[in-house]
Amino acid sequence: MPDEEPSDWYLTHPIAETLLTAPPGCGKTEGIARWLRVLVERGDLVPPRRALGLTFSNKAKANLRSRLRREVGPRWWRWATVTNFHGWAFHLYQHHCTSVGLEPLKIAPQRGWQATITRAICREYGCEEEDLQRALRACKLGAYSDDTVIERLDSCGMHAALAYEHRIREEGRRDFDDLIRLGLLVLEHPGVVSLYRERFTVVVVDEVQDMSVAQFDLASPIAPGRTLWAGDAAQGIYGFAGAQPDLVVERIRGRDACGIELTASYRSSPPVLRAVSALSKALGGQDLRAASEDEWEGRGRLLALRTRYAHQEAAWVATTVQEWLEEDAALSVGVIARAKGRRKWVDEEIQRRGVLAEIWDFPAHKPLIVELLVRHLPMVDPALGRREAVEDLYLRCFVDIGDLDLDSQDELTEAFDTIRELIAEMPLADIVNGIRISSSPEDPVGPGLHLLNGHVGKGQQFDRVIIVGLEEAFLPHYFALKSGRAEDLAAELALLHVMASRAREQLVVAACDVVPTWKGDDLGREPSRWFGLIEAEVDEVVDLR
């Protein structure tokens, strides 16, 4: 079948093995939802047979679900199941583990708990978390039995990795890498594969550039010849987490997948696309064009901000955001940094001024968690002590989350870890009422200010974006510079590309000459090696030095 490039590909595309390549803002997720709607209208999706959508995060899952709700209707779930890879693996294992002679997991993996164990092992053995995680992934990500994992860890030469595995098993736990391998073990049973081939007419996998080969193997048997793989190599930012985009794309092409390549951006203004295209070309990608430049007349803008000190930057950002939201309260504004530590001064200034913000890397600020807290708080007995009230609220919220929604369970646990720390200082009602967000569970990005790091914003979009921390050792990060590996630097550039492409109408990139270290010392900084790529395209440089 010949490759396609129409913007309305979804109207005529049949159910077929497909590789959909789409840079940021080219309507990939919208097109997928519309294609599934067309399949429903054509009668190609008839319950109880469904479509399976696989994503990588709760935000991405909510994004696809919200698009399906708009395209297919409020009962979209009759025609589609949307989950992420860990949820899919957990579902497979819990429902079919007895087919391979194993027992269901009694405790689902939890990121907060896993991070605590990882940090403890690294302190005890004097190793880096990244090295430990890399060793664990290498020994676990395959259809390996528990015994085989121990053998592989024993022979890998890293004592910390073996100690970690013994520690989690002593506590009756499994981690998220275990979920993938256990799901793969179940899929080795031909009866399980046959069952799901009958259940799902088509499979859609989003963000293939973030997949490992093990995740590919978790998705690929379900609908051979009937799977749509979507992604963009320039957005590959999860190499540190085991992504293997080149190998995955090679395997997809080996399935005789036809190609659809999108190049017109429906998200961003021409000025923003100048920055995105400059970064894309540095990654070996392509220029992007606005699908309709006339729609952006007078609205698009690209700025560079140069300041001497971090507090100057924070003051400018806070003032600018306030002015934007006073002019138009319906705007969504994202302030993004490579990591939240570099965003610290902006966060503090925003809080000092009393500006409401959704802080994406603070667990209790996630839309679903806030909804659960607000809904169940009135049911908590006011006669309970503070700590007893916290536990009562936690249990009420927990039972309201689906058994297979591991990410939401984990987010709830993380949120309550924070609440338990705060409860000694303030009443539970004050903690809950003090959480403010601007979006909803159905719409991951709503009006107002959002504070986030680069990785968690992937797949989302904001009317206006300010990127802070474009300095050497912040972006690219110190660890990428220290490693010296070309792939690590490429992943940092890809992250900047993702951050810039979140902007719809306006983008600001900021670099600071002096940024305090974690010790409190002022340290001179050089602009990021990629700052100039964007600065060469800007409409204006705001220089406060």
Q: Which of 146, 173, 200 is the last residue of a domain?
A: 173
In terms of Cβ atoms closer than 10 Å to its own Cβ (0-12, 13-18, 19+), residue 219 is buried
pLDDT at position 1 is 37
Domain assignment present for 182: no
pLDDT at position 5 is 47
pLDDT at position 424 is 83
Residues 455 and 345 in one domain: yes
Domain assignment present for 389: yes
pLDDT at position 4 is 43
Distance in angstroms (rounded) separating the CA atoms of residues 542 and 3: 45
Residues 120 and 161 in one domain: yes
Across the strands, what pairs with 511?
306
Domain assignment present for 178: no
Domain holding 319: CATH number? 3.40.50.300
Residues 211 and 160 in one domain: no
Q: Which of 241, 262, 283 is the last residue of a domain?
A: 262
Which of these, 174, 159, 154, 167, lies nearest to 127 by C-alpha position? 159
Across the strands, what pairs with 265?
290
For residue 12 the two structure tokens come to 């005529």
What residue spans of 458-530 are helical by DSSP H?
478-483, 486-500
Domain assignment present for 520: yes
Residues 213 and 351 in one domain: no
Residues 328 and 468 in one domain: yes
Residues 390 and 328 in one domain: no
pLDDT at position 440 is 58
Residues 281 and 336 in one domain: yes
Residues 168 and 298 in one domain: no
Domain assignment present for 335: yes
Residues 192 and 83 in one domain: yes
Residues 78 and 150 in one domain: no
Number of separate domains in the chain: 4
Q: Which domain holds residue 389?
A: 367-433
In terms of Cβ atoms closer than 10 Å to its own Cβ (0-12, 13-18, 19+), residue 306 is buried
Is 494 in contact with 284 (CB distance < 8 Å)?
Answer: no
Residues 237 and 343 in one domain: no
- What is the gyration radius of the CA atoms in the chain, in angstroms? 24
Across the strands, what pairs with 261?
21
Task: Write down the number of H helices and E strands in the chain.
Answer: 21, 16
pLDDT at position 283 is 87
pLDDT tens, per residue, the chain with 545 residues: 334 446 789 999 999 999 998 877 788 889 999 999 999 999 999 999 999 999 987 667 878 898 999 999 999 999 999 999 999 999 999 999 998 889 999 888 887 788 889 999 999 999 999 899 999 999 998 999 999 999 999 999 899 999 999 999 998 899 999 999 999 999 999 999 999 999 999 999 998 888 899 999 999 999 999 999 998 866 666 666 677 888 898 999 999 999 998 888 888 999 999 999 999 889 887 788 887 887 888 789 999 999 999 999 999 999 999 999 999 999 999 999 998 889 989 988 998 888 888 888 776 667 788 889 999 999 999 999 999 999 999 999 998 887 667 778 878 888 888 788 778 877 898 888 767 665 555 566 788 999 999 888 777 889 999 999 999 999 999 888 888 888 889 889 999 999 999 999 999 999 999 987 665 556 678 999 999 999 999 999 999 99
Domain assignment present for 103: no
